[in-house]
Amino acid sequence: MAKIKMKKKSTSTDMTAMCDVAFLLLTFFILTATAKVPEALPVDTPASTVQTKLPESDLATLTVGKKDGKDRVFFDLKGRDVRKRTLELMGDKFGVTFSEEDKEKFALMTDFGVPIQNLKQILDMKASDRVKADQPGIPMDSLNNQVKEWVYNARIANNEFNNAKGSKQELQIAIKGDAKEEYPVIKKVMDILQDQHINSFSLVTGLRGKDF
Amino acid sequence: MAELNTGDSGGGKGGKVRSKKQNSKVDLTAMVDLAFLLITFFMLTTSLSKPQAMSLGLPDKDPKDKTEDMKVDENRTMTVLLGGGDKMYFYMGLINNPMAPKLIAYGKDGIRKELIKRKKDVAAYTAAKGKPEQGMIVIIKPGKKSNYKNVVDILDEMAISSIPTYTIVNDFLPEEQKLLEGK
């Protein structure tokens, strides 16, 4: 009596197509990912349960942190063209001239924290040296309030570009404060914004669960 | 693999020397594994690296159009004072009337329980008055020694307990000043 033999099925499947798709997706994600640029002033943001994300454009970030016992404010702006125009406006205002090359460099860098008079030195540095350079923060006392001017001119530049595009989107301001920073310093930054009638802004936070 | 044909075919004498047929299939399992691992990594890092942000709206404080201080029913208000060293005090209504400021902890067993309880009380009170659309008002007063984390924490509590109206106020009553500095 012959035994009925079970047909042996091959266990291996053709994975070529799957592999193709996987690598296609991988390529897409690698290309769209942006490398993280080291921040000039690293801060430890407090956590919250809010899950709203910050916008990718039309955003200025004021980083408030403490380094060597001194409170420092750094400024960052999204959008290359807006950055260039802001630098032009700031240069006019403070009588500092920036070459085309300087503007190009400024468009490509991220946050900085020096008075505008010293901005050129920072622009001439390599990206890796900027982080190491001891940037003193942008002055924001009542006599020499450059933080205010930066925010103000960034708003003008942003509006120019958005109006040209026919959009009414205003520049949004985010405050990125260190968790240990004292409230009066944050309040001072908020006051600068409120003096320009910016009454609604974002606070950058980390993420945590509801059970804390 | 199963399809690998390695048997010496025939090996007859005088036959033509055939070049061995190489199997063209390669095992792709490991490669696919790796590709998907990397995809997962890149997908997660691109969406998670975007910073979160809470939006905060403050009342306009232009001195030009200063309006008369709005009268608010004190039965609806709760005042939260933030002090140094992660200390927090709260009181309902007016100070010392009906209750003296009480020390309370951050987190779900401290302020959150109290907020939810008080919110219910206020809702019952306004419903009894026939204005159920009016909710609780929380006044946050961050003291000079409080830090940014305290402020974000308390704003977060407002979002968690969905308090309809809250604001940050920087004027202190003398009693409040004493309370925040005295301890």
For B24-35, the pLDDT digits (tens) are 777 888 888 999
Note the pLDDT of residue A86: 92
Q: Pick from B52, B108, B151: which is nearest to A211 by CB?
A: B108
Q: Looking at this protein, which amino acid is placed at residue B46? A: T
Produce one character per residue of B100-133: b if its CB has 16 or more CB atoms within 10 Å, e if not. ebeebebeeeebbebbeebbeebeeebeeeeeee
pLDDT at residue A179 greater than cutoff 60: yes
Residue A2 confidence class, pLDDT cut points 50, 70, 90: low
Instruction: Identify the pLDDT of residue A74.
Output: 92
pTM to 2 decimal places:
0.76
Residue from B72, B51, B93 nearest A78 by CA: B51
What's the rounded mean pLDDT across residues A160-176? 89
Q: What are phi and psi of B132, to 5 degrees?
A: -70, -10
The answer as to whether A41 is a domain residue is no
What is the rounded CA–CA span in Å between residue B183 and residue B178?
8
- The count of structural domains within chain A is 1
Spatial distance between the Cα atoms of A74 and A69, rounded to a whole number of angstroms = 16
Q: Is the model's pLDDT at A24 over the cut of 90?
A: yes
Place of tokens 């990206």: A127
Distance CA A170, CA A153 (A): 13
- Please indicate whether, in this complex, the C-beta atoms of A212 and B108 are within 8 angstroms of each other: yes
Yes or no, beta carbons of A200 and B28 under 8 Å apart: no
Please tell me whether residue B71 adopts helix, strand or coil conformation: coil
Asked whether residue B6 carries a pLDDT value surpassing 60, the answer given is no
Q: Does B160 touch chain A (CB under 8 A)?
A: yes
Question: In angstroms, what CA-CA distances link B120 with B40, B75, B127?
Answer: 44, 12, 10
Nearest CB partner across the interface for A187, out of B153, B160, B170:
B170
Residue A164 structural domain: 52-207
Residue of B nearest to A192 (CA): B61
Q: Confirm or reject contact between B83 and chain A (CB < 8 A).
A: no
Half-sphere exposure (Cβ direction) of B137: Cα atoms closer than 13 Å: 17
Give the sign of the dihedral formed by CA A201, CA A161, CA A100, CA A86. negative
Out of B3, B57, B156, the one facing A200 most closely (by C-beta) is B57
Whether residue A11 and residue B38 make contact (CB cut-off 8 A), yes or no, is no
A162 DSSP assignment: H
Residue at A153: amino acid letter: N
A13 in B contact zone (CB under 8 Å): no
Whether pLDDT at A105 is above 60: yes
Q: Which residues contact A27 (CB under 8 A, 6 or more apart)?
A: none
List of chain B residues whose C-beta atoms are within 8 Å of the C-beta of residue A25: 39
Say if the Cβ atoms of B32 and A211 lie within 8 Å.
no
Summarize chain B as % helix, strand, coil (round to 5): 35, 20, 45
> Is residue A160 in some structural domain?
yes
| Contact of A192 with A145, CB cutoff 8 Å | yes
B54·A182 Cβ contact <8 A: no
Average the pLDDT over each of A10-19, A87-96, A189-198, B11-20 and give the range with the smallest value.
B11-20
Q: Per the domain annotation, does A16 fall within a domain?
A: no
The domain segmentation of chain B, as residue ranges, is: 74-182
Peptide bond into A139 cis (omega under 30): no
Residue A166 pLDDT greater than 60, yes or no: yes
Out of B3, B31, B148, the one facing A181 most closely (by C-beta) is B148
- Determine which of B31, B52, B61, B66 to mutate to test the interface with A (most A C-beta atoms within 10 Å): B52
3-state secondary structure of B38: helix
Reported as a single tens digit per residue, the pLDDT across B41-92 is 888 887 776 778 888 888 777 666 555 566 777 788 888 888 888 888 888 8
> Which residue has better confidence, A83 or A4?
A83
Mean pLDDT (chain A, rounded): 86
- Specify whether the CB–CB gap between B87 and B159 falls below 8 A: no
Q: Does B4 touch chain A (CB under 8 A)?
A: no
Interacting residues of A118 by C-beta distance below 8 A, sequence separation 6+? none
Collect all residues of chain A within an 8 Å Cβ-Cβ radius of residue B51: 45, 53-54, 176, 204-206
Average pLDDT for B151-171: 87
Helix, strand or coil, per DSSP, at residue A20: helix
pLDDT tens digit sequence for A109-156:
888 888 988 888 888 888 778 878 888 889 888 888 899 999 999 999
Give the model's pLDDT for residue B11.
46
What does the mean pLDDT of chain B come to?
80
B residues 84-123 near A, CB within 8 Å? 107-108
- Bigger pLDDT: B113 vs B67: B113
pLDDT of residue B85: 84
- Which 8-state DSSP code applies to residue A140? B
How far is C-alpha A67 from the chain's CA centre? 19
What residues of chain A lie within 8 A of the CB of B24, using their CB?
Answer: none
Question: Between chains, do B39 and A212 touch, taking CB under 8 Å as contact?
Answer: no
Collapse the DSSP code of B40 into the 3-class scheme (helix H, G, I; strand E, B; otherwise coil) and give the result: helix
pLDDT at B12: 47
Q: Per-residue pLDDT for B1 more than 50?
A: no
Q: Look at residue A154 in the predicted model and tell me its pLDDT.
A: 92
Whether residue A10 and residue B3 make contact (CB cut-off 8 A), yes or no, is yes
Domain over B74-182 is classified CATH 3.30.420.270: yes
Report the distance separating Cα A207 and Cα B102, nearest Å.
29
Does B182 or A53 have the greater pLDDT score?
A53
- Kindly tell me if the per-residue pLDDT of B119 is higher than 50: yes
A45 belongs to a structural domain: no
Q: Is residue A172 part of a domain?
A: yes
- Show the DSSP H helices in A33-169 as ranges: 80-94, 100-108, 119-124, 127-132, 146-164
Would residue A30 count as lying in a domain? no
Query: How deeply is B15 buried, as exposed, middle or buried, from its count of CB atoms within 10 A (0-12, 13-18, 19+)?
Result: exposed
Shortest CA distance from B82: residue in chain A: A183
